[in-house]
Amino acid sequence: MKNIRNFSIIAHIDHGKSTLADRLIQLTGMVDERNFKDQILDNMDIERERGITIKSQAIALPYHARDGEEYVLNLIDTPGHVDFSYEVSRSLASCEGVLLLIDAAQGVQAQTIANLYLAMENNLEIIPVINKIDLATADVERVVEQIDSELGLDPFSCLKCSAKEGIGIEEILEAIVKRIPPPKGDPEGPLAALIFDAQYDSFRGTVIHCRVFDGTVKNGDIIRLMSNQATYKVEEVGRFLLAREKRDKISAGEVGYIFASVKTVSDVHIGDTITLDGRPCDKPLPGFKEFKPVVFSSIYPIAPEDYEDLAVALEKYKLNDAAFVYQKDSSIALGQGFRCGFLGLLHLEIVQERVEREYDLSIILSVPSVRYRFTLKDGSVEFVDNPAHYPDPSIIEKGEEPYIRATLLMPERYLGAVMKLCMEKRGVNSKLNYLSPGRVELTYEMPLADVIYDFYDRFKSITQGYGSFDYELLDYRESNLVLVDILVNGEKVDALSQVVNRDQARPRALHACERLKEEIPRQMFKIAIQGAIGGEIIARTTISPFRKDVTAKCYGGDITRKRKLLEKQKKGKKRMKTIGSVSIPQSAFLAVLKTNTDD
């Protein structure tokens, strides 16, 4: 155990986390130059494109240190978005130390601090690493000073490297060995292993990623998941190299995987504790939380005949995403579909992209909603996460909506603008806390609905990326709720309906109308877009028709060219939904929730 080190790399976005991970993998000889595929840990297309890590990954790096000893360095990668902050916290809970990576040109940023706090909460050894020292704009002196003054860390403890150029990598490996403590724990004690990730393998079922704190797990053991008492027989254990490597057992201090005929990833819960059925540990490891979807939206196929394919796609997708929940649903405007629950808007967008890309389906998502609570006049209580199921207003006694506590970290100079945004978002009970000179922590209680509605984009934009944001659910609070419908050429598009606080109904409806006006291409006909509460029109826009589009010449060679263009347009039209003879592009449905400044 003394030759094991478990660590993560944490950093603000684009500070070079994946590049450094690749370098460590390369330097420990896991891959040769020829097979070195950039950024091995971020291995999903979407992750590459967005430049963020969504699912955690782990890899064991064998390292021959200068002290002559052989070490196993377990690198546990972490996702980098607030929707997945719980997953990050569980990954960090599996480590003894972190590399806190800071860009030499950009210096300490919001997520640097947010990540530092997460690491401190988990009592981890923190090694500050200044990256990109080769850049012409690098200002290492300034960053060292920030490490002292803003992070409160020992400035002499920091390392300097250029992951891109491969400078200073060995010093990092040495520091991991010397400064991060080896794991503690009793290999002979009752098994206590923390699940920090689970992935679906189409041949073997679910592969559980875990960190063993005490005890040992081996083939044939009967394990018990402590949150639901489910038991499974272990079929294989091992550790992560570039591929999985089978071993006889994994013991206290080690990071590895377990196969145990677990059918889907939904059967295991990240943060849960694995123990042995025959010899359970006293209590589960701390920090476990159930996944709770907070954002809901319906997914429909654009072509009704794709419904069955969509059903298959979601079923397969679900195998690998425990946080995603869904059930059958139908819409008057969009036909048969599925009501789905997500951890947040980013999670929703990821599901959308993956279903489209990996299953080649064109889908539409309805306007996302939170879950509201209605008390009806007969005293019964109804939860509604789908505006289509909004109760008849005449029988509602009271409506309530979920509130969260938002924690916002930012440089002091943005405080005024952020407070204004929070107030606009109906934030209450604010608290202000000075972390260090020039840096503040602001907390607000806010309706979740307002947070999913363009809050994150605007906060990022106001703080120019220097702000970080986290939230936790609080409770339900009474609210004057109304249902706002959107009509296109007089036809209600139920997938665009939203439940909102009455005070916001008019601006929201107008915003939706205007966004639709931007997203729906002009057509031959005039298109009227209206927002309404019941029979009352509260907002309206019109898309004027175009009047001239005809090509001047159409002789010999023009005919084929023109036909090919029309064929392409017809295909494009199939990717739109026709409602009231208006072709509405997919993008329009999500655009309603976004501000116009972010595209």
Using CB under 8 A, list all residues that contact another protein. 523-525, 546-557, 559-560, 562-563, 566-567, 569-570, 573, 581
Nearer to another protein, 395 or 566 (CB): 566
Would strands 222-225 and 216-218 be described as parallel, antiparallel, or unpaired?
A: unpaired
CA distance 104 to 139: 6
Nearer to another protein, 165 or 567 (CB): 567
Percent helix, strand, coil in the chain, to 5, is 30, 35, 35
Smallest gap from Cβ 381 to another protein, in A, equals: 44
Helices 455-462 and 415-424: angle between axes, nearest 10 degrees: 160
Nearer to another protein, 333 or 440 (CB): 333
Nearer to another protein, 502 or 562 (CB): 562
Nearer to another protein, 156 or 555 (CB): 555
- The Cβ-side half-sphere exposure at 27, using a 13 Å CA radius, reads 22
511: amino acid identity, one letter: H
The CA-CA-CA angle for residues 154, 26, 238, to 5°, reads 95
CA distances from 373 to 298, 478, 508, 573 (A): 19, 9, 21, 39
Smallest gap from Cβ 513 to another protein, in A, equals: 22
Nearer to another protein, 34 or 548 (CB): 548
Nearer to another protein, 292 or 526 (CB): 526
Smallest gap from Cβ 454 to another protein, in A, equals: 32
Nearer to another protein, 304 or 438 (CB): 304
Tell me which DSSP letter residue 162 carries.
B
Beta strands in 266-395 (DSSP E): 273-276, 295-301, 325-331, 335-342, 363-365, 372-376, 381-384
Tell me which DSSP letter residue 522 carries.
P
Q: Which residue has the tokens 């050429």?
A: 489
| Host H or E run for residue 529 | strand 527-533
Smallest gap from Cβ 489 to another protein, in A, equals: 10
Smallest gap from Cβ 449 to another protein, in A, equals: 38
Nearer to another protein, 428 or 559 (CB): 559
Smallest gap from Cβ 544 to another protein, in A, equals: 10
CA distances from 44 to 220, 264, 331 (A): 33, 20, 32
Smallest gap from Cβ 426 to another protein, in A, equals: 43
Token pair in block for residue 591: 């655009």
Smallest gap from Cβ 588 to another protein, in A, equals: 19
* Residues composing the chain: 599
Nearer to another protein, 359 or 525 (CB): 525
Question: Cβ distance 242 to 35 under 8 Å?
Answer: no
* Phi, psi of 187, deg, nearest 5: -65, -20
Smallest gap from Cβ 552 to another protein, in A, equals: 4
Smallest gap from Cβ 500 to another protein, in A, equals: 33
CA distance 469 to 471: 7
Q: Which residue has the tokens 């990668």?
A: 77
CA distance 171 to 160: 9
Smallest gap from Cβ 585 to another protein, in A, equals: 15
CA distance 428 to 445: 5
CB within 8 A of 215, min separation 6: which ones? 185, 186, 187, 188, 189, 190, 191, 192, 193, 251, 252, 275, 276, 279, 281
Nearer to another protein, 522 or 594 (CB): 522
Would strands 4-11 and 70-76 be described as parallel, antiparallel, or unpaired?
A: parallel
Nearer to another protein, 542 or 581 (CB): 581
370 in the Ramachandran plot: left (φ > 0), alpha (ψ -120 to 50) or beta? beta
Instruction: Report the first-to-last Cα separation within the chain, whole angstroms.
Output: 51
